[in-house]
Amino acid sequence: LKVIEDGNIFVHHGGGEGGGQGHGGIATALCTRAGFMANKTDPTKRKRNQDRGIIIRNVAGLEDVDMFGVLDGHGDDGHEVSEYVKSLLPDILAGLVKADTEQKFRVDPKPLIEELISSVIAELKTVQANSKSQDKSKTPRFDVNTSGTTMCVSLRVGDVLHTANVGDSRAVLIRKVMRKKKKKNEDGKEEGGDAMVGTLSSLPLSRDHKPTDPMERERIITSGGRCAKLGPNQPMRVLPRYADFPGLAVTRSVGDFWGEGIGLKAIPEFKSHELTSSDIFVVWASDGIWEWLSNSTVARILYRNLGEISKGGETLVEEARKMWDLKTNKAYHDDITCVVARFD
């Protein structure tokens, strides 16, 4: 388990945050754990962590603009893709914000986020060309044809959180809404006065893009692909119409250029939310968390650690690992990563 400490998270033009430290009214934590796959031939061989967390504070020097999110790489070079995309985001995002001299993104950040993702795709296309070139000096070069990453990110602009999602990583808002409830005596009868009672709830800020989703499945099929299981215990995958390979268990991806012709593209889906005094946390996590833990379970775990956000993230990752061990008889667990922001 790795908890990212303060100083190891990108902050544009200075500032400090991360590791549960407060900054600008927001405390953050990033916790990640590499997955595990039982290997009978080499028990010492460890699975490479393909997840990456994103915390970018003070974008272009603006104290009220931040980006949070998570990337979940897949394929043989998924770790290369997610790491490269993570390295690109701070400078591209800052450049786009600076170029918007009228700050139109404050009213509608969707065009800026779309351009951000398009710029990342353009960089990955260059990687693809480098990989095909006979000139070995052209770098970076790694597989982006059958490797890629999810991308679930939120751009905070003042009190509004704008979430863009590609793939099956997820962002969830956790809130506590106070309401009045009549006081009752020991006999259960109502007595004078009202008591304030808080109800914990979770609100998804993204939708999982999987072939099990009817709308996503229809979009892939209409684009010329197909969605099928290749075995009784296999997940449904996006596949070429007349072949069983390559395949992918998500319907949108950053990378995986083999599937562009059948709708497997980096098409972001957006949702905006205006933060209120009832909103406590937002968590961005890879499917290593969401495979076995419900949104409400995640909310309860984090709320129990309200004052120690790093401990909350660490507990969340460990609880997810325990569920993987239980469900797979300790034979496998996915990479598990969460970024948590607490709004103080």
pLDDT, position 176: 92
Tens digit of pLDDT for each residue in 81-99?
999 999 999 999 999 999 9
Tell me the two tokens of residue 248: 């992918």
pLDDT exceeds 80 at position 20: no
Give the mean model confidence (pLDDT) for residues 251-276: 98
- Dist CA 90 CA 11 (whole Å): 8
Provide, rounded to the nearest whole percent, the portion of the chain with pLDDT above 90. 82
What predicted TM-score, i.e. pTM, was given to this entire model?
A: 0.91
pLDDT exceeds 50 at position 8: no
pLDDT, position 13: 32
pLDDT, position 179: 75
Tell me the two tokens of residue 166: 């590609």
Give the residues across from 198 on adjacent strands: 178
Judged by average pLDDT, the poorest of 21-25, 53-57, 305-309 is 21-25
Instruction: Output the CA angle 153-158-161, nearest 5 degrees.
Output: 30
pLDDT, position 185: 67
pLDDT, position 4: 64
Are 188 and 220 in contact, with CB atoms under 8 Å apart? no
- Dist CA 103 CA 113 (whole Å): 13
Q: What is the DSSP string of 207-261?
A: ----TTSHHHHHHHHHTTEEEE-SSTTSPPEEEETT-S-S-BSSSB-EE-GGGGG
> Count of residues for the chain?
344
